Amino acid sequence: MLLLAFGVLFTAVLHLVAAVPSLKARFKQRVGEKAYGPVFGIASLIGIGLIVLGWRASDFVFVYDPPAWGRHANYLLTLVAFIFLGIFLFRGSWRQTVRFPMAFAAIFWATGHLLANGDLASIILFGGFLVYAVLHIIIGTANGVRPSPVVREGHNLLSVLGGIALYGIMTQLHMALIGVPVFQLS
C-alpha cells in the first residue's frame, strides 16, 4: 500500500504545480521551455505506473461496507467524469466555463468509486485523488489559473460525444487494464 500511496502523492504534487503559476514557471525554467511538456508527461507516466504497481500489489483490507446503490451511482458519476474529461480534451467553450474540467472529472470519478468500494487501497487511491482535485480547484482559483483562451468552435458537442465514447471504451477495457470487471453478468 505504501507504493500506491506514494504514487498518488507523487502524481498529485506533480499536478498541483500546474495550479501555482510561479511554481510552474520555475519548473519550466529549470527543465527548459521545450522540454517541459515531455518531462511533465514522462513524470506523469511514472506516477501512473507507480499507482498501477501499487494497486496490483495491495492486499484487500476491508474498511467499510459500501451502500447497495453505490455501484449504480458509480456508473453514473463515472459517466459524468468522462464527459468532463471530454470537455478537457476537446477544448470547446465549455472548458472556459468549467475552468477545471479535469479536476471535476477526478472528483466525480473518485466519489463514484468511493461509493462502490470499501477497501483500504480504494480509499488511498480514490480518496487521494478526490483530495487532490479539490485542492487543485482551490489553489488554481486562488492563483487565477484559467484554461488556454483557444476555443475550438463546435467542440462542445464533441466533448459530450467523446466523453461518452471514452466511457464505453473504458467499460470494455476495465478488466484488462485494472483487473476488475465493470459489469458482472452472473
Quote the CA–CA distance of 88 and 84 in Å, as a whole number.
6
Bridge partners of 62, per DSSP, are 119
Q: Do 90 and 104 form a contact (C-beta atoms < 8 A)? A: no
Please report the pLDDT score of residue 184 as a whole number. Answer: 66
Placement of cell 488554481 in the chain: 140
Mean pLDDT over all residues of the chain? 94
pTM: 0.92
Instruction: Say what percent of the chain tops pLDDT 90.
Output: 85
For 19-60, write each residue's pLDDT tens digit. Answer: 899 999 999 999 999 999 999 999 999 999 999 999 999 999
Asked whether the predicted pLDDT for residue 185 surpasses 70, the reply is no
Nearest to 15 by CA among 49, 47, 54: 47
For 120-134, write each residue's pLDDT tens digit. Answer: 999 999 999 999 999
Q: Which three cell numbers stand for residue 37?
A: 511538456
Q: Which amino acid makes up residue 21?
A: P
Q: 185 or 118: which carries more pLDDT confidence?
A: 118
